[in-house]
Amino acid sequence: MVLCLNVILFLALHLLPGMKSSMVSLKNNGYDGIVIAINPSVPEDEKLIQNIKEMVTEASAYLFLATKRRVYFRNVSILIPLTWKSKSEYLKPKQESYDQADVIVAHPYLDYGDDPYTLQYGQCGEKGQYIHFTPNFLLSNNLLFYGSRGRVFVHEWAHLRWGVFDEYNEHHPFYISSKNTIEATRCSTHITGGKVVLKKCQEGSCITKPCRRDSQTGLYEAKCTFLPKKSQTARESIMFMPSFDSVTEFCTAETHNTEAPNLQNKMCNHRSTWDVIMTSDDFRTVSPMTGRNLPPQPIFSLIKSKQRVVCLVLDKSGSMNSEDRLFRMNQAAEIYLVQIIEKGSLAGMVTFESFATIENNLIEITDENASQRITANLPRVANGGTSICSGLKAGFQVITLSDQSISGSEIVLLTDGEDDTISSCFDEVTQSGAIIHTIALGPSAAKELETLSNMTGGHRFFAHKDINGLIDAFSRISSGSGCITQQAIQLESKALNITARKWIIGTVPVDSTIGNDTFFVVTWTIQKPEILLQDPKGKKYKTSDFREDELNIRSARLRIPGIAETGTWTYSLLNNHDSFQMLTVTVTTRARNPTTPPVIVTSHMSQNTAHYPSPMIVYARVSQGFLPVLGINVTAIIETEDGHQVTLELWDNGAGADIVKNDGIYSRYFTHYRGNGRYSLKVHAQARENMARLSLRRQNKALYIPGYIDNGKIILNPPRPEVKDDMAEAEVEDFSRITSGGSFTVSGAPPPGDNTRVFPPNKITDLEAKFKEDHIQLSWTAPGNVLDEGKAKSYIIRTSKYLLDLKEDFDNATLVNTSSLIPEEAGSIENFEFKQKLLKIENGTKLYIAIQAINEANLISEISNIVQATKLIPPQELSVPALGTKSSGIRLAILGLAVVLSIF
């Protein structure tokens, strides 16, 4: 038993750094536990399953060769949606779910195209969230310009599993090399090709013209495109163009192009993709397989999603009497059962103290009456000790008594007490296959709770004193089926300590994508307040319209009939009591219709555990139908065990903790440690004054190749849906969303009041440079005094004619006088202009520049991204007629047009 427990704890600890609970493991060179999930909206199609199998099988052999015989795909599960017909070969799920899948197959939103991509927003070497393939990509043979599906899968797997980045750059397709030649942004430079401007194509013919140099940048004009030669001999790189037969490797230290202005160089300090891969957890101990044979082909399991099964396991021990915990638990549990859990789910309830009691066997949640059959049994009295294992075992019994499988079912465990015997049922929990979500209420809840969540793939939450923390936690525990339009969305979660006889007023925007099943809930601590609610058209709801619960748990609820009106709702609350009391307002809703996905927000910390002084990053993703939502206010609230709150504004500016600007992922460093223990995360996203917009562009995706060169002729690939610059963004209505990011645990932190500075300014990652006459102009986003917060004390700027001088010997490079440069507040745009007096500026002069920041404690940031500024006056070019007129144009993919091309 001890050995088994040690294994469980080992596995649980190894799940902690992950941002999602992937089931993938690597053993004896083979990957097991890969989950590919099909979205419920995808029509049933046997060909889709067959093509997924073929893609993974091809990818496994390609991956094996690319990793020099180190890894392959061994066991893969394909998760079939509940909307498809059942078949005898479909197995029951264990802990597989759509929202935890490694690969999802789903339609794009707004027809933005079929680009395969990976949702990736960690730092270099950190795992991504998931790979997204569209059904069209997997079914159509007209999209092979990305490369074969198996090769594309390996490209995306490298993003997902090893945290490497693309080696192309669509925004900077060319750069000036250290040899003063214009090169295509690529890795390796052994990939050969040419450059041309592809103009509008019509009726099987295209107009092309030679690329001209831009007199300001020295590079080619904006629409100049690199076209690779069809016949290549280069073996690298998979992160640039895996579509060519010769490309079978990742760029190594010997072949890596350190000068290319791509995301791999920016994020990984110019390290090669193979170097990053080899230092990953997967490769630290794995050795190449011996022999010459290929590995066995992958084994596929077809798993059919099942009806959701949830059992609440609630603590009613004596400690729940303190601080109104029993009341608050009942308030939150009622909201969950009435407003949050999806219709059609099976729900039951267990309460426990020193022993457990089954309060309700599983009931199908069809309407509010079904929910009330469970809420009527919420505990009224708290007493006795705490036996968490008794509660869990009773929860398992509730599930089996209804002929349901424990495997894949969910337990929501809430407790405030310690329990020395909790580890005694770890083995049973692991073998059950259940998913356990844990809610720690107060600072004394058992420290082993998180182990239960970590080893079963469940969520973990911590709630302090006010009811909102509990409601936020319950609201986050939604179905993992992929049916976003069925899930509850939290619009408001506010706790207000109101003085006697005082009104407070608030507003909640309801946008046109939501409004179904909308609830306004008010709770109080002493006396019911007077309530006034007004919809956007002026209709008023009074206190008498809010139904007070029969359980006497100090809450009143109003369900808006039909679809809630779009616009701003206004609520007013009057504290009728003679003294202060805490009032809370919670608003939940669902999607207006199943065809239009609502804006959703998900959030988490970069790790589930932190050991001081390791900084953590707060992430919040705001999206609508997979597309990023830009231009909104996103605020994170982090609360400690003693109730202290820290508020952080999250940024999507491509600086500091944020990797890519305008990708809908809002990030910020968290350094406000205040002792050890549990911390909770809550995020509020708001779109105001019509500033929000939907981006139609994606990052970390397979590269579309418009064509190639074959024997001097241009052969064009079929066009893909183009997103024009003026169509790249769509307007989004004003909205409000609340979500819990769960909890995380801190150790080794100093007590409150210890303000010792241990964090330097963050690394500057968006430095840009250009010549203006004989001066060099720089711009970057200001770092902070402590990572990305506050204001740095000063900057160090150094230059060199050689890239390696700055990369390997920064302190001895030429220093720039920055005495006139006063740092701005973190997040501000800095601009600085200087002239190198000792350097003769002439045509072809090239400088590399990097920067560091220093804070008040004289801690110095990492060296920034290294940029290049080139003084280049291109000679006047002779006028060359446009090539490929309509009368002698090329025919797509059949006839090419011979042109003179510059070969890289």
E strand intervals along 144-250 = 174-176, 182-184, 193-202, 205-209, 224-228
259 is annotated as an active-site residue: no
What is the gyration radius of the CA atoms in the chain, in angstroms? 29
Which among 470, 462, 467, 471 has a CA at the least distance from the CA of 678?
A: 462
Which among 29, 219, 226, 66 has a CA at the least distance from the CA of 157?
A: 66
Provide the pairing of β-strand 75-80 with 34-38. parallel
How many C-beta atoms surround the C-beta of residue 501 within 10 A?
Answer: 11
- Choosing from 58, 96, 126, 156, the catalytic residue is 156
d(CA 444, CA 463): 11
User: What angle, rounded to 10 degrees, do the helices at 467-476 and 325-335 form?
Assistant: 30
Which stretches of 570-677 are DSSP H helices?
none
d(CA 223, CA 242): 23
HEC per residue, 58-121: HHHHHHHHHCCCCCEECEEEEEECCCCCCCCCCECCCCCCHHHCCEEECCCCCCCCCCCEEECC
d(CA 255, CA 264): 14
Which residues 6+ apart lie within 8 Å of 711 measured at CB? 896
Paired residues of 72 in beta bridges:
30
CB 530 within 8 A of CB 498: no
Residue with tokens 């469940």: 458
The conformation of residue 274, written as its DSSP 8-state character, comes to H
* Burial degree of 632 (CB within 10 A; 0-12, 13-18, 19+): buried
Provide the pairing of β-strand 581-591 with 514-524. antiparallel
CB 406 within 8 A of CB 400: yes
Read off the amino acid at residue 814.
T
* Burial degree of 499 (CB within 10 A; 0-12, 13-18, 19+): exposed
CB 827 within 8 A of CB 651: yes
d(CA 545, CA 532): 9
- Where b means 16+ CB within 10 Å and e means fewer, 430-455 reads bebbbbbbbbbbbeebbebbbbbbbb
Give the C-alpha distances (Å, rounded to integers) separating 525 from 553, 745, 833: 9, 30, 60
How many residues does the structure list for the chain? 904
d(CA 363, CA 377): 13
* DSSP reduced 3-state for 319: helix
Which residues 6+ apart lie within 8 Å of 108 measured at CB? 114, 134, 625, 626
Read off the amino acid at residue 174.
F
For residue 593, what are its two tokens?
Answer: 């219709």
Which among 780, 486, 536 has a CA at the least distance from the CA of 661?
A: 780
Paired residues of 495 in beta bridges:
584
Read off the amino acid at residue 888.
S
- Where b means 16+ CB within 10 Å and e means fewer, 109-126 reads eeebbbbbbbbbbbebbb
Active site residues: 156
